[in-house]
Structure 1
Amino acid sequence: MTPNAVALAAMVILLFPMGFFLLSSPAFLLVKLDIPEVTQLLRGLFSSYFLMVSIAGVIATGAFAWAGRLVFTMGIGLIAAFAVWARGWFLQRMDSQLSARDAGDADAVRRLRRMHWGGMLSNALQLAAVLGSTPYIMSA
C-alpha cells in the first residue's frame, strides 16, 4: 500500500467518529436535559467522541507524516490535540453543570444545552475542514 493510500485510509477512519457524532448528537435536542439518564448518555457520547477523534487523529497524523504531507500532518495533528484538550475541558465543565443541576440550579440545564450546541458546532466545523481537504489528499 502506498503512503498516499495509507493517508487516505487514515482520513476515512477519522471521518467515522465525526460522522457518527454528527448523526447521533441532534437526537439529544429532542429530550430534556434535566433527566439524569439522558445527561449520562450525552456525557458518554461526548466522552467517546473526543476519545475516538483523539485516537483516530493520532493515527492519521502518523499516516500523513509517513506519506510526507507536512500540511496535512499539522492539520490533523491540531484536530487530535484539540480533541485531547477538549475532552478534559468539556467533560469537566459538563460535570460541574450536572452537579449544579442536581443542586437545584435552574440555569444549569440551559448551560448544558448551550454546551451541547457548542460541541455539535465544533464537530461540524472540524468535519467540514476534513471533508473539504479530502480531494487534495491524493493530488501531488
Structure 2
Amino acid sequence: MTSDGIALAAIVILLFPMGYFFLAAPAFLLVKLDIPQVTQLLRGMFNAHFLMTSIAGVIGTLTFALTGRPVFAIGVALLAAFAVWARGWFLRQWDAQLSARDAGDAAAVRRLRRLHWGGMLCNAVVLAAIVSSIPYVSATSA
C-alpha cells in the first residue's frame, strides 16, 4: 500500500467515531433529558465518542508521522489531545448537571441540552475540517 493509501486509511479511521456520533447524537434531540435512562445513555455515547476519537487520533498521528506528513500528524495529535481533555471536562459538566437535575434544579435539564448541542456542534466542526482535508492528504505525497 502506498503512503497516500495509508494516510487515507488513517482519515477513514478518524471518520468512523465522528461520523457515527454525527448521525446518532441528533436522535437524542427528540427525547426529554429529564428521563434518567436517556441521560445515562447519552452520557455513555459522549464518553465512547471522546474515547474512540482519542484512540483514532493517536492511530492517525502515528500513521501521518510514519508516512512523512508532519503537518497532518500535528493536526491530528491536537485533535487527539482535545478529545482527551474534552472527555474529562464534558463528563464532569454532564455529571454536575445530572446531580443538579436529580436534586430538583429545573434549569439543569436546559443546561444538559446546551451541553448536548455544544458537543454535537464541536464534533460537526472537527468532522468538517477532517473531511475538507481529504484532498490535501492525498495530494501531499511523501
Conserved? CA contact 1:50–1:83, under 8 Å: yes
After superposition, give the CA deviation of every residue in 1:39-96 in whole Å (9 maximum; x if it has no partner): 0000000000000000000000000000111111111111110000000000011000
> C-alpha separation between the residues in 2 aligned to 1:81 and 1:4?
24
> C-alpha separation between the residues in 2 aligned to 1:99 and 1:36?
11
Secondary structure in 2 matching 1:138: helix
Conserved? CA contact 1:3–1:63, under 8 Å: no
TM-score by length of 1: 0.98
Q: Look up the match of 1:89.
A: 89
Matched residue count: 140
Secondary structure in 2 matching 1:109: helix
Structure 2 spans left out of the alignment, 5+ residues: none
Look up the equivalent residue of 1:6 and give its one-letter code. I
Q: Look up the match of 1:68.
A: 68
> C-alpha separation between the residues in 1 aligned to 2:88 and 2:43?
12
Q: Look up the match of 1:43.
A: 43
> C-alpha separation between the residues in 2 aligned to 1:58 and 1:42?
24
Q: Look up the match of 1:103.
A: 103
Shift of 1:103: 0.3
Shift of 1:6: 1.4
- Runs of 4 or more consecutive aligned structure 1 residues displaced over 3 Å after TM superposition: none
Determine whether 1:79 maps to 2:115: no
TM-score by length of 2: 0.97
Shift of 1:3: 2.5
> C-alpha separation between the residues in 2 aligned to 1:10 and 1:102?
42
Q: Look up the match of 1:21.
A: 21
> C-alpha separation between the residues in 1 aligned to 2:80 and 2:4?
20
Look up the equivalent residue of 2:34 and give its one-letter code. D
Q: Look up the match of 1:133.
A: 133
Secondary structure in 2 matching 1:137: helix
Shift of 1:2: 2.4
Supply the RMSD in Å over aligned alpha carbons: 0.7
